Structure 1
Amino acid sequence: MSKNAPMPAAQDATARDRSTTNPSTKDGSTKDPWIHSDTYPMLRRIFLDHGRQHIKAYILAALLLAIGAAATAASAYLLKPVLNGIVDGEKFSGLRLLAWAVFGLFTLRGIATYLSLIVLSRTGNRIIAGVQSQVFDHLLRQDMRFFHDRHSTDFMARLAYAPNAVRDTLQAMITAFGRELLTLIGLIVVMFVQDPLLAALSLLTLPVAALLLGRMIGKVRKFARRSFDGSTLIMQTMQETVQGSRIVKSFNLEDTMRARMAAAIREVERSMNRVASGMAMSSPIADALAGFAIGSVIFYGSWRVTIQQADAGSFFSFVAALLMAYEPAKRLARLKLEIQNGLVGAKLIYEVLDRPALEMPRPGLPKLAVSAGRVEIDNLRFRYRADEEVLNGLTLSVEPNQTTALVGPSGGGKSTIIGLLQRFYTPEAGKIIIDGQDIADVDLASLRDRIAFVSQDVYLFRGTIRENIALGRLGASEEEIVAAARKAHAHDFIMGFSSGYNTAVGEHGAQLSGGQKQRIAIARAILKDAPIILLDEPTAALDSESEREVQKALDEMRIGRTTLVVAHRLQTIINSDRIYVIENGKAVESGTHAQLIAADGTYRAFFASQFGETVESFRVAAAQGRP
């Protein structure tokens, strides 16, 4: 990352994210406010944002689950006449009808459960797709500051995994209230109908279970977040190992990367074990309390049946309802744990969606109209960090049909100017004007449509050479793609591949050399056919032979266009129409190469540091009109 990379702004945002996740209390401990005060507002937000649009499907699923719940309660109620029919031989003939009724109830419950699962699955998949599209679209509308201090795997993990949490949270609530709660209510009604006193005694354990399970919520939430962070580190280490495989092997970093991966895997394993322990703890608590309740009921109920001659069928139906109520009651007890686990993922989604999108379209703005292509930068001020001004009242102009070069020491603000021209960032003061139009007041897409950009960090997308060039102008014909490649001096080496333009470039263009990738990037820019060209050290990382080929391509590209080029290697810009020396955020000198050499100032010293020539040789070269 360059010296001017906007770290602090992103760090501030990251710090805000982290403080929201795990703020410190006055005594230095950590406490997640979502566990208590924000849980229900968050659930409401999830429903309004993602559940409300699928309300019909959820109502249908809830009705199907309710049918299953009613069937369960009815089957428990029918056990009373079944047992009494067994005891009383005269009622045996009616048992056949009851047997068919029980069979029908269980069949109905199975069909209702199947249909509800289908509805919930399809609805859940639509929610995941919608959330992923929403998050990705929001990321595209962020400015460059947002991305600089975040690893790409963080976004990948949020996009791949976190939307599942939104779906799971909604489905957990629908299932809990549509099936578990209604089943439990139905069975409790059966219990009270059969024996109100025993039912009241059985329910005394519920407050105790709620109290004990509530204590586990905070730990589950904390370790679920740690698990996500650890998973992100696993993806990050894998990505860096694959993409940086040459460096890893060249510097014998295999053991280092192994250690990083092992640490991340251990963190995920430990966190998932803690989450699993917290979730599993609900089972022994529920089992112990249920065992106590059922044992008490059997002890007291059997005494009533044997000693007080109470109705055996009612007691049997009551015990069956109590046993059948155990599983839905246990799942309801775990509901809050599952919701807290799901809210961790939902919060990761909202950390992205709640950040203002600085590149949102602004309706009504005029499109940029480029005629001559004159660029004026007037008193521009910009900083990445509050205490470090990068551009300090910069003023310069880029003339049409000419090449203007920016040179100077690293960190002086040259690449920042390129970024500001494309509105990757917003200046604190000053203006950038193209043909009399302030770029801050024109449609952003139209601005970028009129600019072609070539950087030293060439990025090729997955696919073929043809597809990468065609990205310069979607819909371009085959002839136009080939013509652009010819102008970029890339056609010959492309045809040297067995698959020609259908050659796959590999990840980040790994199948091509640096010079080949650069010429494909230039062909892409040529195909765009924009009137303004921005070149950010396009030959800095090339060998001499590749540089010559790329320079030919750049010369072709600049014909008839306004060109602004940033360069450290001065031999690439000595023929520029105008050269600006940028130092400490200002243009301290300007002129042609010969004029600046003759001026005996900063440019001359900068040139001398690269070529080691004497002052006199500079002046002779300037007088003779040669570098």
Structure 2
Amino acid sequence: MTQKKPWTERLLETLPADRLLLRLLLESFHEHRWKYLAAVGAMIMVAASTALSAWMMGEIIDTLNTPEDRRRVLMVGLGVALIFAFKGIAFYAQAVLMARAGNRIVAQKQMQLYQRMLMQGVAFFNTNESSDLLLKVTQSAQAARRAIDTIVTGFIRDLLTLIGLVAVMFYQQPFLSMVSLIVGPAALFGLQKILKSVRAIMAQEMAGLGEIIKVVQETSTGARVVKAFGLEPRMAGRMNTAVREVEKRANRMVQLEAATMPLLDVITGLAIASIVILSAVNIFGQAPGTPGQLMSFVTAFLMAYEPAKRLSRMRVIIESSMVGIKMMYDLLDQPMTMVEDPAAVQLKDGPGAVRLEDVHFAYNEQTAVVNGVTADFPAGKTTALVGPSGGGKSTLLNLILRLYDPDTGRVLIDGQDIAKATFASLRSKIAFVGQDTFLFSATVMDNLRLARPDATEDEVIEAAKIAHAHEFIEKLPNGYQTQIGENGSFLSGGQRQRLSIARAVLRRAPILLLDEATSALDSHSEVLVRDALARITEGVTTIVIAHRLSTVMNADCICYVEAGQILEQGSVEELLARGGRFKALHDVQFGGGQAMTGS
């Protein structure tokens, strides 16, 4: 069996780099064209003033040789002052305009990436690790900006500056300028050798950063498991390996980027030495020119070193940025795992009757989780799903929530196919409490109001009272305005669960889905919450998953689910009288005795 390639290597093979870069430039320039055009204008001014300053150096030298010409001295001095002032203003304008355009691009790309993630279905998050997503959102937009800035400044400011300075050189000393052109081809040959390693090393560095994020996330969310099983050395080892790999790749990148500088230094030094020697002799009858011309030429040559160096490193920077750009478009171009029908309509108001029609579903092509389920969940009644773990109970709730679509079959609410309904209208019909309670890092009040943002404070408090959460909330340092930490980390499991139930109460939806809603509660809290659920489920279509039969003995109907099928269905009394699988489960949990309904 061939080993699966790392995601960074697969990413490098997906799309041609040049096409991605062109796509990025077209998208960015179209929207920010006025900022970039203004910045380009400022760069042209910078390039022109740089070339003029080199040319003026010859005028300065020649003027110093004729100090008696006061008018010329004054004009040259004023010209130098104006050129440098003009250059400073243009450079400031270029820097500000480029920064604003770049910052806007980063913000827009990060929002595009995040919105794309929000539009995806749950299946997307099952196949993409959160550390990879975090890396793509945070790093790839910065890489896009870095590539754009490098291309704009390189091809406009640096290239025009270099052209202007070379023009000054040829104007002042044509022969010596021809000699200096040896530098360019020699530098490019050395640069091509460096570029071959840049992209692969950058991809490996990104993979290392992803591993660092993953280790930190797992340490944070799994702190109790790490401590309970003494996994600190193991986690420290993983982090140490990841950090060292990133360090090694970063050092290699620095070496490659830095290699362009001594390469140019050596070649430029040899060129300058040759020019100095050649300028002192008469070759082919060519006089070396006036001191001013020679000084202007040397100044232009030395000033050309910096833009030439930046241009030589431009390819290195772009190549290193391409990994991040590919990561960005890899996420933006991923097919949607859940799409709203283009002709979607609002679900009409109704009592909340739910029906599954011959539903089949598999998370992957090999393992079927739901096999031809047809079932009715009557409006205003409570239906319990019981049975062994892995039987498909939670999957049925996921299909009703439309977190996934059935492979075949339909899910109907009040006779309407939810696949043809808008997401907003579907979600408004359903309240959900899962066994894995999730709370946001905000106040208690903010977390509860997520269910219904327009709820009044009195309505929030009433919902908390129904869920038996009001008492412990009042004892918090700031009551309902208390910050509860990431995923409610400052609260106990039972308290988090009761807040989740209060949130569902506040929702006031006609359909209530409960997936092991009392699993995190102690016996006392469970009794309280069961009483609360009995109140809020009156007249509400309730579908509840429970492994403890004591929590669902009052259900109007019970469905025994196993191997993706509903094998038995009926009231408690009917199922017990039938003596099937539900009866066997009942006898195991209640020791063979008859449980009292309503207990």
Same-fold call, TM > 0.5? yes
**Does residue 473 in structure 1 map to residue 452 in structure 2?**
yes
In the alignment, is the contact (CA less than 8 A) between 1:76 and 1:321 conserved in 2?
A: yes
Within a 5 Å distance, the mapping from 1:507-546 to structure 2 comes to: 507-546=486-525
Q: 1:160 aligns with which of 127, 134, 138?
A: 138
Q: 1:132 aligns with which of 110, 135, 150?
A: 110
CA distance in 1, matches of 2:286, 2:9: 64
Cα pair distance change 1:249/1:19, threshold 3 Å:
closer
Query: Is the deviation greater in 217-226 or in 64-73?
Result: 217-226
Cα pair distance change 1:108/1:332, threshold 3 Å:
same
**Does residue 255 in structure 1 map to residue 245 in structure 2?**
no
Deviation at 1:235, TM superposition (A): 2.2
**SS of structure 1 residue aligned to 2:355:** strand
CA distance in 1, matches of 2:146, 2:264: 23
**SS of structure 1 residue aligned to 2:282:** helix
Deviation at 1:78, TM superposition (A): 1.9
Tell me the equivalent position of 2:11: 21
Q: 1:555 aligns with which of 531, 534, 543?
A: 534
In the alignment, is the contact (CA less than 8 A) between 2:39 and 2:98 conserved in 1?
A: yes
Deviation at 1:417, TM superposition (A): 0.7
CA distance in 1, matches of 2:264, 2:526: 73
Q: 2:169 aligns with which of 171, 181, 191?
A: 191
Query: Is the deviation greater in 207-216 or in 168-177?
Result: 207-216
Q: 2:96 aligns with which of 105, 109, 118?
A: 118
CA distance in 2, matches of 1:391, 1:88: 97
**Does residue 144 in structure 1 map to residue 122 in structure 2?**
yes
In the alignment, is the contact (CA less than 8 A) between 1:489 and 1:552 conserved in 2?
A: no
CA distance in 1, matches of 2:10, 2:211: 20
**Does residue 387 in structure 1 map to residue 366 in structure 2?**
yes
Structure 1 counterpart of 2:133, one-letter code: F
Structure 1 counterpart of 2:11, one-letter code: T
Listed one character per residue, the Cα deviations across residues 524-556 of structure 1 (whole Å, up to 9, x for unaligned) are: 111110000111111223322222222222222
Structure 2 counterpart of 1:293, one-letter code: A
CA distance in 2, matches of 1:207, 1:563: 76
Tell me the equivalent position of 1:405: 384
Compute the TM-score of the two structures, normalised by the length of structure 2.
0.95
In the alignment, is the contact (CA less than 8 A) between 1:522 and 1:553 conserved in 2?
A: no
Tell me the equivalent position of 1:236: 214
CA distance in 2, matches of 1:387, 1:240: 29
Deviation at 1:279, TM superposition (A): 0.7
**SS of structure 2 residue aligned to 1:474:** coil
Cα pair distance change 1:483/1:333, threshold 3 Å:
same
In the alignment, is the contact (CA less than 8 A) between 1:47 and 1:170 conserved in 2?
A: yes
Tell me the equivalent position of 2:548: 569
In the alignment, is the contact (CA less than 8 A) between 1:456 and 1:540 conserved in 2?
A: yes
Deviation at 1:607, TM superposition (A): 2.7
Listed one character per residue, the Cα deviations across residues 413-458 of structure 1 (whole Å, up to 9, x for unaligned) are: 1111111111111111001111111111111211111000000111
**Does residue 80 in structure 1 map to residue 80 in structure 2?**
no
Cα pair distance change 1:19/1:256, threshold 3 Å:
closer
**Does residue 422 in structure 1 map to residue 419 in structure 2?**
no
**SS of structure 2 residue aligned to 1:100:** helix
Tell me the equivalent position of 1:273: 251
**Runs (5+) with no aligned partner, structure 1:** 1-11, 24-32
**SS of structure 1 residue aligned to 2:372:** strand
Structure 2 counterpart of 1:60, one-letter code: A
Query: Is the deviation greater in 176-185 or in 495-504?
Result: 495-504
Deviation at 1:90, TM superposition (A): 5.6
Query: Is the deviation greater in 597-606 or in 563-572?
Result: 597-606
Cα pair distance change 1:504/1:399, threshold 3 Å:
same
In the alignment, is the contact (CA less than 8 A) between 1:537 and 1:566 conserved in 2?
A: yes
Q: 2:438 aligns with which of 459, 467, 470?
A: 459
Structure 2 counterpart of 1:605, one-letter code: A
Within a 5 Å distance, the mapping from 1:190-209 to structure 2 comes to: 190-209=168-187
Tell me the equivalent position of 2:82: 104
Tell me the equivalent position of 1:4: none
In the alignment, is the contact (CA less than 8 A) between 2:9 and 2:203 conserved in 1?
A: no
Listed one character per residue, the Cα deviations across residues 189-214 of structure 1 (whole Å, up to 9, x for unaligned) are: 11111222222221123123222212
CA distance in 2, matches of 1:609, 1:213: 75
In the alignment, is the contact (CA less than 8 A) between 2:8 and 2:204 conserved in 1?
A: no
Deviation at 1:19, TM superposition (A): 5.4
CA distance in 1, matches of 2:28, 2:254: 27
CA distance in 2, matches of 1:553, 1:289: 82
CA distance in 1, matches of 2:546, 2:280: 93
Deviation at 1:239, TM superposition (A): 2.4
In the alignment, is the contact (CA less than 8 A) between 2:139 and 2:324 conserved in 1?
A: yes
Identity between Structure 1 and Structure 2 (%): 39
**Does residue 588 in structure 1 map to residue 578 in structure 2?**
no
Cα pair distance change 1:229/1:119, threshold 3 Å:
same
**Does residue 347 in structure 1 map to residue 316 in structure 2?**
no
Q: 2:273 aligns with which of 286, 295, 298?
A: 295
Cα pair distance change 1:365/1:307, threshold 3 Å:
closer
Deviation at 1:594, TM superposition (A): 2.1
Tell me the equivalent position of 1:311: 289
